[in-house]
Amino acid sequence: MLNSTSYLDFLSKILADQVRQVTIANNSIEYTVTTANGLEVCQTTPDGDTEALIQLLQKQGVNFKVENSHPTSPNPWATVVLGLAFPALALASAWLLQKQGDGDSNSFGAYGVGKSKAKVYTQGQTGITFKDVAGVTEAKQELQEVVDFLKNDQKYRNLGAKIPQGVLLVGPPGTGKTLLAKAVAGEAGVPFFSISGSEFVEVFVGVGAARVRDLFAKAKRQAPCIIFIDELDAIGKARSSNPQIGGGNDEREQTLNQLLVEMDGFGSNSGVILIGATNRPEVLDAALRRPGRFDRQVTVDRPDKLGRVAILNVHVQGVKIGADVQLEAVATQTAGFSGADLANLVNEAALLAARYDRQAVEMTDFNAAFERVVAGLENRARVLNPIEKKTVAYHEVGHALVGALTPGGGKVSKISIVPRGMGALGYTLQLPEEDRFLLDSTEIAGQIATLLGGRVAEELVFGRISTGAADDIQKATDLAEKAITQYGMNQVLGPVAFDRTTSQFLGGSNRRQISDQVAQQIDQQVKASIDQAYQVAKDILISNRDLLESITQQLLDQEVLEGDELKNLLAQAQAVYA
Ligand code: ADP
Ligand code: MG
Ligand code: ZN
């Protein structure tokens, strides 16, 4: 009565939680499965890695034994199948295994296939509130709203307001995304389900999807609550544009699809709010970002100097700090550190102090710890050396000053030299004061000059230039070319479109058939408008040389300039062309 089955069939039955007992011999595997008619004994031929099989069996909580080559006495299970009270026995043993395995089963008969491993912290138990998260003021403000949704969900429900259900926290590692998600749960006093995207991605197709289903089922029973999916990119990567043969991505895609299904399924008023975290938002599947899914994005960036002081203050709680320690000085030194780096720094300093048997952690310990931590960070290379920092500061202030004095770019609202996660070493933010649909040619020229302002500042101040302007130069050149070839703004070439735009939405354009002569003219004119804009930027910065100096000093000191402070500084700039 031994049913011969394929190995694949065997695996899928394990995943479907139908397999009860497995005996692995050298060339044969015997197992019992539950069927509609009770238990059945089957046999299959091993095809693949026994180690992997064993891991799977352990994970699924299936009773198994491995037999060595020497034949054993008659298989005890075979005899059981011949008639006795085996079903009860099998259930009992599976139950026991389940008990010690998953630790999360609360219903009899739940064998843990794809049972989500989400840890449940009940009411308030994350024990973390916004007080524990320092220096990410904007993110906290945005999340405060989510706290309110969770706390007063009845109020919103009564009004018929739609509560957002997916918030995506985006930022480099160690900036406090996990901490923030926990703090939201803590502030709202709701349960917190947490799972990491990478945990979903299993070797065996189907497990991830089952986990997602289970996680949402559990969460819905405990609403209002938070589901936190860390490393969302591990499941949420854009679905394969190059379909892999053999379906190497099957598992991830199934999991992702299930996630989408669940998100759409629970409607906006279920009281379940999803928080996802990623440091690679650009790889996420577009479907995840649609309205009703992760449609809110909260940026969690590396802290500026004030933020770092605040974070250091959080982490020195409970650490004995000597009188000579100036956290502000530590913060000045640590531009580019994330919250986790700072926490690590404090701990390293405390360890060093302990090694020297000190009564309290002293400034020398912080300095020594800094060196250690930086050495460890070197590969991540986000800590600027003082010369780079200065270069970046002058560069950004150059953009800001030219931007303030030329039309087209909007108001300069922020300058920052805190290295950003996605590669920028500093940035200048210009915000349009109103919606703009048309730009005139002076505004385009102003934008080009503003883009070049960074490079010009470097040249003026240091007499040498750096690679930092590459992106600006690219953009400036693109803009100058477009003005000529698409907008017909050039005096010499006139209102002729040399580019045929292929699609407004897909972007892209191709050049019409043009003569070599015209091609040459276009090149010359692009170069001329760049040169002209460069000169404008140069004139502006030369006449405002002192202001460039003083704003840069202030920026180096504070790392971020914004609001009224910045407005007043830039208001001192002297226009060159009245
Ligand atoms: P992420 O999830 O963004 O990678 P975590 O939330 O896991 O970062 O942060 C790791 C640790 O670093 C936290 O447990 C905390 O000790 C510290 N940390 C990070 N950011 C902050 C912050 N803004 N305020 C206080 N501590 C922080
Ligand atoms: Mg995290
Ligand atoms: Zn720049």
CATH of domain 305-375: 1.10.8.60
Q: Which of 262, 260, 252 is nearest to 213 (CA)?
A: 262
Cα gap 108→98, rounded to integer Å: 10
CA-to-CA dists, residue 44 to 4, 25, 32, 61, angstroms: 6, 10, 11, 20
Q: Which atom of ligand 1 is nearest to the CA of 133?
A: 24
Q: Mutate which of 131, 169, 179, 298 to test ligand 1's pocket (most atoms within 8 Å of Cβ)?
A: 179
DSSP labels, 397-458: HHHHHHHHHSTTS-EEEEEE-SPPTTS-S-EEEEE-SS------HHHHHHHHHHHHHHHHHH
Written in H, E and C, the secondary structure of 92-158 is HHHHHHHHHHCCCCCCCCCCCCCCCCCEEECCCCCCCCHHHCCCCHHHHHHHHHHHHHHHCHHHHHH
Ligand nearest to the CA of 347: 1
Ordered by start, the domain boundaries in the chain are 3-100, 119-299, 305-375, 386-570
Q: Which atom of ligand 1 is nearest to the CA of 132?
A: 25
CA 406 – ligand 3 centroid, Å: 16
Residue 252 — very low, low, confident or very high, per pLDDT cuts 50/70/90? confident
314 lines ligand 1 (CB under 6 A): yes
DSSP labels, 43-82: EE---S-HHHHHHHHHHHT-EEEE--SS--SS-HHHHHHT
In this prediction, residues 338-345 reach a mean pLDDT of: 93
Ligand nearest to the CA of 180: 1
Fold of 386-570: Methane Monooxygenase Hydroxylase; Chain G, domain 1 (1.20.58)
Residues with CB under 5 A from ligand 2 (ion): 178
Residue pair 26/63 in contact by the 8 Å Cβ criterion: no
In this prediction, residues 135-156 reach a mean pLDDT of: 88
Q: What is residue 112's predicted lDDT score, i.e. its pLDDT?
A: 45
Task: Please name the residue whose Cα sits nearest to atom 12 of ligand 1.
Answer: 340
CA-to-CA dists, residue 386 to 431, 495, 497, angstroms: 29, 48, 47
Pairing of strands 19-24, 63-66: parallel
Residue 268 — very low, low, confident or very high, per pLDDT cuts 50/70/90? low
Q: What is residue 460's predicted lDDT score, i.e. its pLDDT?
A: 96
Looking up tokens 């919250």 gives: 339
Comparing 108 with 445, which gets the higher pLDDT?
A: 445
Rounded percentage of the chain residues whose pLDDT exceeds 90 = 32
pLDDT(86) > 50? no
Rounded to 5°, the CA angle 391-563-389 comes to 15
CA-to-CA dists, residue 178 to 96, 198, 323, 341, angstroms: 34, 15, 33, 15
Residue 243 is which amino acid?
P
Whether 251 sits among the annotated catalytic residues: the reply is no
174 lines ligand 1 (CB under 6 A): yes
CA 339 – ligand 1 centroid, Å: 5
176 lines ligand 1 (CB under 6 A): yes
CA 34 – ligand 3 centroid, Å: 67
Residue 82 — very low, low, confident or very high, per pLDDT cuts 50/70/90? very low
178 lines ligand 1 (CB under 6 A): yes
- DSSP H helix total and E strand total for the chain: 21, 16
In this prediction, residues 104-124 reach a mean pLDDT of: 47
311 lines ligand 1 (CB under 6 A): yes
Could you give phi then psi for residue 250, rounded to 5 degrees?
-50, -50
Mean pLDDT, the chain, rounded, equals 79
Cα gap 67→88, rounded to integer Å: 24
173 lines ligand 1 (CB under 6 A): yes
Contacts of 385-388 with C-beta under 8 Å, sequence gap 24+, read 388/425
* Burial of residue 103, with CB atoms counted within 10 A of its CB: 0-12 exposed, 13-18 middle, 19 or more buried: exposed
In this prediction, residues 357-361 reach a mean pLDDT of: 93
pLDDT(342) > 80? yes
pLDDT(80) > 50? no
Q: What is residue 425's predicted lDDT score, i.e. its pLDDT?
A: 76
Which of 97-111, 204-218, 380-394 shows the lowest per-residue confidence on average (mean pLDDT)?
97-111
In this prediction, residues 221-236 reach a mean pLDDT of: 86
CA 119 – ligand 1 centroid, Å: 19
**Displacement of CA 354 from its chain's centroid (Å):** 36
Q: What is residue 542's predicted lDDT score, i.e. its pLDDT?
A: 96
Q: Which of 51, 59, 55 is nearest to 102 (CA)?
A: 59
Question: What does the pLDDT look like over 459-485, one tens digit per residue?
Answer: 999 998 888 899 899 999 999 999 999
Cα gap 440→437, rounded to integer Å: 10
Residue pair 336/302 in contact by the 8 Å Cβ criterion: yes
Residue pair 453/537 in contact by the 8 Å Cβ criterion: yes
Question: What does the pLDDT look like over 486-535, one tens digit per residue?
Answer: 888 998 898 888 887 655 555 556 788 889 999 999 999 999 999 999 99
Bridge partners for 23 per DSSP: 30, 65
Pairing of strands 38-44, 29-35: antiparallel
Roughly how many angstroms between the first and final C-alpha of the chain, as a whole number? 99
Q: What is residue 222's predicted lDDT score, i.e. its pLDDT?
A: 85
Q: What is residue 376's predicted lDDT score, i.e. its pLDDT?
A: 59
345 lines ligand 1 (CB under 6 A): no
Comparing 419 with 571, which gets the higher pLDDT?
A: 571
Q: What is residue 88's predicted lDDT score, i.e. its pLDDT?
A: 37
CA 337 – ligand 3 centroid, Å: 22
Q: What is residue 436's predicted lDDT score, i.e. its pLDDT?
A: 65
Q: What is residue 196's predicted lDDT score, i.e. its pLDDT?
A: 82
SS3 367: helix
Residue 105 — very low, low, confident or very high, per pLDDT cuts 50/70/90? very low
Q: Among 396, 458, 481, 559, which one carries the catalytic annotation?
A: 396
Q: What is residue 55's predicted lDDT score, i.e. its pLDDT?
A: 73
Cα gap 226→124, rounded to integer Å: 12
Architecture category of domain 3-100 in CATH? 2-Layer Sandwich (3.30)
133 lines ligand 1 (CB under 6 A): yes
SS3 578: coil
Cα gap 496→167, rounded to integer Å: 47
Q: Which atom of ligand 1 is nearest to the CA of 171?
A: 3
136 lines ligand 1 (CB under 6 A): yes
What is the number of alpha carbons within 13 Å of residue 219 lying toward its C-beta? 30
- pTM, entire model: 0.60
Question: What does the pLDDT look like over 389-439, one tens digit per residue?
Answer: 899 999 999 999 999 999 888 888 889 887 754 456 788 888 766 666 688
DSSP state of 468: G
Residue 85 — very low, low, confident or very high, per pLDDT cuts 50/70/90? very low
Cα gap 407→425, rounded to integer Å: 25
Residue 484 is which amino acid?
I
Question: What does the pLDDT look like over 181-222, one tens digit per residue?
Answer: 999 999 998 888 888 877 766 556 677 788 888 888 888 888
Ligand nearest to the CA of 182: 1
CATH of domain 119-299: 3.40.50.300
pLDDT(302) > 60? yes
In this prediction, residues 375-388 reach a mean pLDDT of: 64
Q: What is residue 37's predicted lDDT score, i.e. its pLDDT?
A: 66
232 lines ligand 1 (CB under 6 A): no
- Across 197-284, the runs of DSSP E, i.e. the strands, are 225-230, 272-278
177 lines ligand 1 (CB under 6 A): yes
**Displacement of CA 31 from its chain's centroid (Å):** 44
CA 232 – ligand 2 centroid, Å: 10
pLDDT(77) > 50? no
Question: What does the pLDDT look like over 11-44, one tens digit per residue?
Answer: 777 777 778 788 887 778 888 777 766 677 788 8
In this prediction, residues 36-56 reach a mean pLDDT of: 74
pLDDT(60) > 80? no
Residue 68 — very low, low, confident or very high, per pLDDT cuts 50/70/90? low
Cα gap 431→382, rounded to integer Å: 27
pLDDT(262) > 50? yes
Q: Which atom of ligand 1 is nearest to the CA of 182?
A: 6
Residue 121 — very low, low, confident or very high, per pLDDT cuts 50/70/90? low
Cα gap 330→370, rounded to integer Å: 9
- Asked if 3-100 and 305-375 have one fold, the answer is no
Q: Mutate which of 175, 334, 346, 418 to test ligand 1's pocket (most atoms within 8 Å of Cβ)?
A: 175
